[in-house]
Amino acid sequence: MRSQPTPFEGGPMDGRVLPILLGPTGHPPKWYEIPVPTPDGPPTVLLYERVPSGYSKRLGLQKGWKYAFRPSGTKPRPRWPWTKPPRPQDRPSTQDSPPAQD
């Protein structure tokens, strides 16, 4: 398995660089979770999100990745296409229908 030294930014891991295993596409994981044990109760989880570390000046190519601290500690929910609310033009409207005649 290949790994890449990836810097962490913000939170308790600020300034540290850890070797992170790369996936089949050559990218580190989108989210990095660090469980921190507590003496009483469940462990606290530090959440870091993968963000671009910068871009080159000339061509605007991405230089690499870094992890940015996410203080909320929650990942966003996946947005699946079948869970979207219906668009206004797809909904049946009672205002546009002609009045019923007897």
**What does the pLDDT look like over 7-34, one tens digit per residue?**
999 999 999 999 999 999 999 999 999 9
CA atoms within 13 A on the CB side of 77: 5
Calculate the alpha carbon distances from 68 to 15, 56, 58 in Å.
11, 20, 25
pLDDT above 90 covers what percent of the chain? 55
Query: What is this structure's pTM?
Result: 0.71
